[in-house]
Amino acid sequence: MSDRFITMVGGSRGSLRVHDVRALSGESLDVVPYLDVRPWLAPAGDSVARWQLSGAVSNLRYATSKEREHYGSLQPPLGRAEARFGALIPIRKSAAWWELPQDTRRSIIADDSRHIAIGAEYLPAIARRLLHCRDLGSPQPFDFLTWFEFAPEYATAFDELLARLRATREWEYVEREVEVRFERIVS
Amino acid sequence: MSDRFITMVGGSRGSLRVHDVRALSGESLDVVPYLDVRPWLAPAGDSVARWQLSGAVSNLRYATSKEREHYGSLQPPLGRAEARFGALIPIRKSAAWWELPQDTRRSIIADDSRHIAIGAEYLPAIARRLLHCRDLGSPQPFDFLTWFEFAPEYATAFDELLARLRATREWEYVEREVEVRFERIVS
């Protein structure tokens, strides 16, 4: 995941074994046995892919310099050997969300929902990466691809993190969310 | 310009006659006689296009609810009959800019550079539209396509607006900027 543009391929092959695919809001994605992370320009071809979701690593949209200073050093890298478990959670927010001005969105995320602070409580156990899809030229079914990696012993903490975030005001604007849980195949 | 994804085609045909193409920073674009505005999925083909620049209309990145309330009603629509003159000004900012956290970027734009307030002084004379290209999947040479339309009598005011913005701290982060001035062909 070092390139800025990435495609997640759900299908019959991949380096991650999928445990579970389920919709939290809106339509689900097809259940697939494997998930693969590829550079943008390496489509999987029909024989492997049931679905492909692309996204871009982009600039921070809400975090302040204080928050980055405070939490940035806690943020672990992706691909830690012990962090064999993980989840891809694509999310789409409503048109009403995108119509809101910047300060209102920031206030819902940071003040009302404490999204940044809640996420930080689970650092460095749960590594994460946010990909943006809304402004990709090729139409995408989601606005974000959120990505998490953690060691098996933090699976319960991860469930708790998700439950807390989903109970926030920010989540009232989520109109589609699918959880794809996986385990890295150790060869 | 009603679709969210748009391609600007500089070449041998188009609905806008190009007066001038010049670089303010970095490499220029080829001088072309015409400019055309097309939906994303309507490439011009090599025989017409010397260059094509794509962008997406997206959510507000910096403006607050107060600013939107204050200036939103002053913002004229695109395509006014009298606004025959205009400019496409693609801009790329530096990697250092994109590394800055949200509050620092907002502070440079709004507080140090008064970008939003300066732009508002020229409303409703100068209509504008901002397209984002940085997170498009197909690699783009610029981060933004800025677009302006005004009546011929406001051409001097437009030059002044550009000069004022280019003198701000925000512009220290601009590493490529090309000005494409045009006039709508009235049939």
- What pLDDT sits at residue B43? 65
* A13 CA to centre of own chain: 20
Find out whether A96 and A102 touch, Cβ atoms under 8 Å: no
Which one of A40, A101, A138 has the shortest CB-CB distance to B60?
A101
Q: Which residues of chain B have pLDDT under 50?
A: 1-2
Find out whether B147 and B86 touch, Cβ atoms under 8 Å: yes
Query: What b-and-e string marks burial along A146-155, b requiring 16 or more CB atoms within 10 Å of the CB?
Result: bbbbbeeebe
Is B134–A103 a contact, with Cβ atoms under 8 angstroms apart? no
Provide mean pLDDT across the span A14-39. Answer: 96
The burial of A42, by beta-carbon neighbours within 10 Å (0-12 exposed, 13-18 middle, 19 or more buried), is given as: exposed
pLDDT tens for residues B80-125?
Answer: 999 999 999 999 999 999 999 999 999 999 999 999 999 999 999 9
**Nearest residue of B to residue A68 by CA position?**
B101
* A55 CA to centre of own chain: 10
pLDDT tens for residues A167-185?
Answer: 999 999 999 999 999 999 8
Segments in chain B forming alpha helices (H): 65-72, 95-99, 102-106, 115-121, 155-166
Phi then psi for B119, rounded to 5 degrees? -55, -40
Residue of B95, B90, B117, B115 whose CA lies nearest to B173: B95
Is B58–A104 a contact, with Cβ atoms under 8 angstroms apart? no
Whether pTM exceeds 0.95:
no
Is B64–A102 a contact, with Cβ atoms under 8 angstroms apart? yes
